[in-house]
Amino acid sequence: MAQQIRVWDGPLRIFHWLLVVCVSTALYTGWVGGGWIDWHARAGLAIIGLLTFRLVWLLLGSTYARLSTLLCSLLALPQYVRGDWRQLGHNPLGVLSVFAMLGMLGWQAVSGLFTNDDIAFTGPLYKLVSSSLSADLTSLHRQGFWIIIGLISVHILAIVLHAVVKKHNLVKPMITGKTTQEHPEQKPARGGHWIAFICALVIALGAVYLASGEWQSKPPPAPVSAPAW
């Protein structure tokens, strides 16, 4: 009888669903603009924190969240194409999708720190670059919107195809953390304990602080002119 075994640790699952919420918020607020632009900036900072957490979790997370496991899976692409891949976690195509998504989201979030809308909004690190570079980054940032939409569409399509063609539910394990053990050689995930979580969280919060620009010196307030009597 098939058994349920651990594949995704709690912090990774929390990261995944928070990223879904933050990216959705960033896409919507970036699309409508106007008074929502401040929320767009907040979502971008949250995404930077989440991505930093995920980078650290590549080293400190449980078995199937680690970089070493992802790279081993990627090297098994020929086996996957032949139908001989039997491991847990992301399959080789899934690893490519993860790298593409994280890389693009990282670029989008970081470039947004230096953008401006030529009206009232400037990114928190806008002053660190020239106005021409800020304009170029703003243009690329806007174009990146459609690339992210494309990557998300491919991601959702892959989930649907797995469910329809392979009868494999990819969403449920990301909620429960467990999946069905289909082969004896499949081992449950290990690691990703609370000490590692705290370390990753502290580093992520540090990244958010640096990205927020709060460490920059503030200009002195404008002098108040005395009223003419």
pLDDT number for residue 222: 63
* Domain annotation covers residue 225: no
| 219 is a domain residue | no
Residue 3, pLDDT score: 87
Tokens for 134, please give them. 């800020």
Instruction: State which residues form the domain around 13.
Output: 3-212
> Would you state the pLDDT for residue 226?
61
**pLDDT tens digits, residue range 70-126?**
999 999 999 998 888 888 999 999 999 999 999 999 999 999 999 998 888 899 999
Residue 35, classified by CB atoms within 10 Å of its CB into exposed (0-12), middle (13-18) or buried (19+), is exposed
Q: Which of 39-48, 105-114, 167-176, 181-190 is the least confident region?
A: 181-190
* Range 151-179 average pLDDT: 94
Would the pLDDT of 62 be above 60?
yes
Is 130 part of a structural domain of the chain? yes
In a domain, 64, yes or no: yes
How high is the pLDDT of residue 21? 98
Q: Is residue 24 part of a domain?
A: yes
Give how many domains the chain has, as a whole number.
Answer: 1
Is residue 166 very low, low, confident or very high in pLDDT (cuts 50, 70, 90)? confident
- Position 134 scores a pLDDT of 96
**What percent of the chain shows pLDDT beyond 70?**
95
Write out the two tokens for 32. Answer: 């409508």
- CATH number for the domain spanning 33: value is 1.20.950.20
Q: Which residues of 196-226 are buried (b: 16+ CB within 10 A; e: fewer)?
A: bbeebeeebeebbeebbbeeeeeeeeeeeee
Query: Residue 118's pLDDT is what?
Result: 82
More confident site: 219 or 179: 179
- CA-closest candidate to residue 10, choices 191, 131, 229: 191
Query: What is the reported pLDDT for 157?
Result: 95
Q: Is residue 150 part of a domain?
A: yes
Q: Looking at residue 1, what is its pLDDT?
A: 54
What mean pLDDT is reported for the chain? 93
